[in-house]
């Protein structure tokens, strides 16, 4: 499917509770898509992601979390454990999906698409670590890719700019 996809809205994925959510439900909204982990040095970024979501959701931002256990086995928990961790520790209210792979043969089609649209440093496609962020405009096009060390609050200006378009 990744080869035929033209926008991020062309994908769907299961949520932590097992229900499949089509990203088409977010058409016309700006997306911040992040691969997450509960036992990572970057895990406190959940707080910043939640802050962005609460600040901008009424203007059209959606934050989408995709837990991944491919980096140092830092997301070993079950769906229930991940959900409880996110809610208890960071008050996460944005959608968190079921655990996926972001690299390799089993990489989720959404991540194949995202990586193909915006390569990383030196043009590499592979996700290097947890909390890599993709910013997607209201048309479902990937605008930018940010590395794990980029704090969520550093994306505020770019998010504001995208939200202002066709607001």
- 44 CB-side CA count, 13 A: 5
pLDDT digits (tens, 9 = 90+) for 59-72: 999 999 999 999 99
User: Whole-angstrom Cα distance, residue 50 to residue 166?
Assistant: 24
First vs last Cα of the chain: how many Å apart?
Answer: 30
Q: What is the pLDDT of residues 42-54, one digit of tens each?
A: 898 999 999 999 9
Q: For residue 2, name the pLDDT band (cuts at 50, 70, 90).
A: very low
Q: Is a pLDDT exceeding 70 seen at residue 96?
A: yes
Mean pLDDT of 17-43: 95
More confident residue, 133 or 125: 133
Report which DSSP code applies to 124: -
pLDDT digit string (tens) for 3-26? 456 899 999 999 999 999 999 999
Catalytic residue chosen out of the listed positions 40, 61, 100, 102 = 40
SS (H, E, C) 38-67: CCCCCCCHHHHHHHHHHHHHHHCEEEEEEE
Average pLDDT, the chain: 91
pLDDT at 125: 75
What is the dotted CATH code of the domain comprising 15-141? 3.40.30.10
Point out which residues pair with 34 in neighbouring strands.
Answer: 65, 133
Whose tokens are 């960071």? That residue is 90
> Residue 155 and residue 135: Cα distance in Å, rounded?
9
Q: By C-alpha distance, which of 92, 134, 90 is closest to 111?
A: 134
What average pLDDT does this structure show over 134-141?
Answer: 96
Q: Is 86 a catalytic residue?
A: no
Q: What is the pTM of this model?
A: 0.93
pLDDT of residue 126: 82
pLDDT, position 121:
63
Contact assessment for residue 152 and residue 50, using Cβ atoms and an 8 Å cutoff:
no
DSSP 8-state secondary structure symbol assigned to residue 98: P
Q: Do residues 114 and 19 touch, judged by C-beta distance below 8 A? A: no
Q: What percent of the chain has pLDDT over 90?
A: 83
Residues present in the chain in total: 167
């Amino acid at each position: 499917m990744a080869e035929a996809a033209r926008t991020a809205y062309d994908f769907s994925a299961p949520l932590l509770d097992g229900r499949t959510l089509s990203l088409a439900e977010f058409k016309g909204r700006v997306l911040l898509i992040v691969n997450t982990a509960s036992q990572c040095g970057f895990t406190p970024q959940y707080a910043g992601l939640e802050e962005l979501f609460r600040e901008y959701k009424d203007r059209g931002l959606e934050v989408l979390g995709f837990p991944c256990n491919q980096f140092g086995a830092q997301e070993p928990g079950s769906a229930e454990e991940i959900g409880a961790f996110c809610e208890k520790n960071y008050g996460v209210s944005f959608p968190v999906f079921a655990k996926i792979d972001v690299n390799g043969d089993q990489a989720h089609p959404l991540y194949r698409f995202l990586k193909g649209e915006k390569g990383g440093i030196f043009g590499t496609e592979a996700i290097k670590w947890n909390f890599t962020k993709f910013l997607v405009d209201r048309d479902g096009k990937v605008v930018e890719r940010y590395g794990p060390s980029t704090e969520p609050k550093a994306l505020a200006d770019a998010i504001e700019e995208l939200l202002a378009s066709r607001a």
